[in-house]
Amino acid sequence: MAIGVGIGLPFSKSGGGATPFAMGNSLYTDGVNDVVQNSVLSSTAFNPYQTSAWSASVWVKPTTAATMNLFAVSETLGGTDRFWLRLYSNNQLGCGSHGQIAYSGVTFPSSYWTSWNMYSVSVRVDSATTQTVFFYINGALFATIAKGKYNYTPTSTQLSLAAFSYAGGGLQGYSTQYVFTENLVPESEWLALYNSGSGADPSVVITSPHSIYNINESAGTTSGDIVDALGEQDLTMFGFVAPFGVNAEAP
């Protein structure tokens, strides 16, 4: 069941929160062949396949109103993306999880295609055959969807940021502060991370994050690794040609 769009809180980017967090830079991707991923299957990369819950979040500023993937996780190199978060051209959020696709069923404002906003998802595995997907925008609960699920058990995964490998293409625009957890993140923590639009340190406000990519690399970077702030799997930039790459713009 979808929870309708709230008034004010889900779409507020005004100040008033705690001390602002010093955001890093952002990835500026063309939506065609720019991607950041681990080049080999990794046992230390974010792996939602075998957990009872998983969550993810990213700040995004698109440069076009088109269907685009924000991240993806696959079980084989270049294989089918089993887990992902996506913006749709009809102003909806979508999530792939355990072999099922969940659509938010409610729309976000058209102005979000040209502004910074934080998109998050938390997934609870309820049983061997069911799961619940919680969509958040700017920290506030946007929709709740109950879905079936399939069982997968890969021990190594490939994580892609701004992923272009699946239907709909990759992110065309800016993105930063990717956060991944192998547990259920509640609304209170997403709100703390959003911090009234000022941002916060994920390692402080999110319980047990697995990976954090703050995009702290120097502006102008078009190759090399995007570092996991928690010391897990660093990701490598592929296909970048200036002016796309690490950009100084951030929320």
pLDDT tens column, 54-67: 999 999 999 999 99
In this predicted structure, the answer to whether residue 10 has a pLDDT above a threshold of 70 is no
Residue 165's pLDDT band (boundaries 50, 70, 90)?
Answer: low
Q: Which of 222, 221, 172 is nearest to 70 (CA)?
A: 172
**Does any domain span residue 3?**
no
Can you tell me the mean pLDDT for 132-136?
98
User: Closest Cα to residue 25, out of 220, 240, 228?
Assistant: 220
28 located within any domain:
yes
Number of domains composing the chain: 1
Cα atoms in the 13 Å half-sphere on the side-chain side of 57: 36
Q: What is the pLDDT of residue 20?
A: 76
- How far out from the chain centre does Cα 75 lie? 18
Q: Is residue 5 part of a domain?
A: no
Evaluate whether 84 touches 96 at the Cβ level (below 8 Å).
Answer: yes
pLDDT band at 188 (very low <50, low <70, confident <90, very high): very high
Mean pLDDT of all residues in 2-13:
36
Name the residue range of residue 146's domain.
14-247
Is the pLDDT score of 146 beyond 80? Answer: yes
- pLDDT higher than threshold 90 for residue 124: yes
Q: Is residue 87 part of a domain?
A: yes
Closest CA to 174 of 251, 85, 84, 233: 251
Do the domain assignments include residue 196? yes
Average pLDDT over residues 138-149: 97
CA 174 remoteness from chain centre: 12
- What length does the chain have? 251
CB neighbourhood size of 70 (10 A):
26
pLDDT at residue 2 is higher than 80: no
Is position 124 within any domain? yes
CATH number of 86's domain: 2.60.120.200
Contact between residue 33 and residue 70 where contact means Cβ atoms under 8 Å apart:
no
Strands (E), 116-251: 117-125, 130-137, 140-148, 158-161, 172-181, 209-213, 224-226, 235-238, 245-247
Minimum mean pLDDT range among 55-59, 74-78, 195-199:
74-78
Residue 25 falls inside a structural domain = yes
> What is the per-residue pLDDT for 6?
36
In this prediction, residue 168 carries a pLDDT of 57
Nearest to 31 by CA among 125, 172, 141, 197: 172
Kindly report the pTM of this predicted structure. 0.92
Is there a domain that residue 188 lies in? yes
Looking up tokens 């230390």 gives 44
Q: Which residues pair with 140 in a beta bridge?
A: 137
